[in-house]
Amino acid sequence: MSKDTINDRKIEHLNIVDKTHGIDREKAYFDLIHLQHRALPEIDYSTVDPSLSFMGKRLSFPLLISSMTGGENDLIEKINKNLALAAQATNVAMAVGSQRVMFNNPKARKSFHIRQYAPDTLLFSNLGAIQLNYELNSNSCKEAIDVVGADGIFLHLNPLQEVIQPEGNTNFRGLSKKIGNVVRELDSNVIIKEVGSGMSCADIELLISQNVKYIDVSGSGGTSWSRIEHFRQPENNGDTLGITFEDWGIPTPESLIQLYKYRDKVTPMGSGGLRNGIDMVKAVILGASLCGIASPFLRPAMNSYEEVIEVIERFKLEFKTAMFLVGIENFKTLLGNHSLVSNTQ
Ligand SMILES: Cc1cc2nc3c(=O)[nH]c(=O)nc-3n(C[C@H](O)[C@H](O)[C@H](O)COP(=O)(O)O)c2cc1C
């Protein structure tokens, strides 16, 4: 695919997410989970500590600014710079968007040079796993990690998006083995994620059979890639497939509950429709070591890193408050603590 097609697509995605109504499905699936409120928490709020260690780095709380963008464009460079500056200032993790564009357009690399803005915190690269069946391989993954100076790489799975996209790559045959090759050939952390449709037990088992150690379910309820791709085709000839499938997938809490069964073999992570610190606390209770949030950061990152910090600080305050109200003082005792859910006992 030409360099301009991939680069232009990145800009179209940002515009659609920023300006089109209903891309965030706002399903609030986490609201269906009720926590055991403690009227007598028996702890001191001032000692509640949401910090954790993940992949050898200390984070102030379990937030990951999830993969969004990259490409040859001033606004895209500004977004990644603002996200990285804010991640460093608040000590949270950040992932860049797909780096496929940099293999077709060398000028796009600059947008991924974010280690200079975030020297200490956890940073991740990103590529579409499907490209392992087309134009990319383990060496491309290594290069992507080097360009970011990343602590690991997210490989995303997006079969729904690829089907809705007119130019999509839809041959997923044998992909799990290719993912296994990357895991074997890279001496870095490899995390497999969806992009908003979740993962089934069959997927998780296939990934575990390929020695994958980290999975981010990225379930449904938030950003809908089906809807985004629908709106990328202004003519779309009456084609409503992207709308029909806009809510397709496994809600994030359900997908996390499934993933938790495999926690001995794989470290669970969660994203997709998390919209505040309470959702994050619920995701951690369901077993997620890290909570990814994407679209709520897009508009603030277009404006300034201070606005990104404001959003992060709000999530952190909400997270700490929810911890206090379930009577939990530290991250370790929150993680996977299903006894804190009141309506599944
Ligand atoms: C503007 C935008 C661009 C995205 N680009 C990527 C990407 O390049 N790679 C990827 O793995 N996920 C990408 N995602 C998906 C997110 O990382 C995340 O999995 C998904 O949006 C669900 O989270 P949310 O509901 O908090 O937005 C993108 C999301 C948004 C909003």
Hey, where are the domains in the chain?
3-340
Q: Tokens in use for 121?
A: 């915190």
Return the CATH fold of 3-340: TIM Barrel (3.20.20)
pLDDT at site 131:
98
pLDDT at site 167:
87
**pLDDT higher than 70, residue 189:** yes
The tens digit of pLDDT for each residue in 86-107 reads 999 999 999 999 999 999 999 9
Closest to 16 measured CA to CA, from 170, 223, 200: 223
Q: Tokens in use for 213?
A: 């150690």
pLDDT at site 315:
98
Rounded Cα gap, residues 315 and 50, in angstroms: 12
Overall average pLDDT of the 188-197 stretch: 98
Q: Which residues line ligand 1 (CB under 6 A)?
A: 13-14, 17, 66-69, 97-98, 126, 154, 156, 193, 195-196, 218, 222-223, 271-274, 293-295, 298
Overall average pLDDT of the 46-68 stretch: 98
Q: Could you tell me the end-to-end alpha-carbon distance of the chain, in angstroms, rounded to an integer?
A: 52
What residue owns the CA closest to ligand 1's atom 17? Answer: 67
Cα 264 to ligand 1 centroid, rounded to whole Å: 27
pLDDT at site 3:
55
Q: Binning pLDDT at 50, 70 and 90, where does residue 1 land?
A: low
List the alpha helices (DSSP H) in the chain. 3-19, 74-90, 101-104, 138-148, 159-164, 175-185, 201-209, 225-231, 241-244, 252-260, 277-285, 298-303, 305-325, 331-334
What residue owns the CA closest to ligand 1's atom 5? Answer: 68
Overall average pLDDT of the 4-25 stretch: 92
Give the position, in ligand 1's atom list, of the atom nearest the Cα of 273: 25
What residue owns the CA closest to ligand 1's atom 18? Answer: 195
**pLDDT higher than 70, residue 214:** yes
**pLDDT higher than 60, residue 345:** no
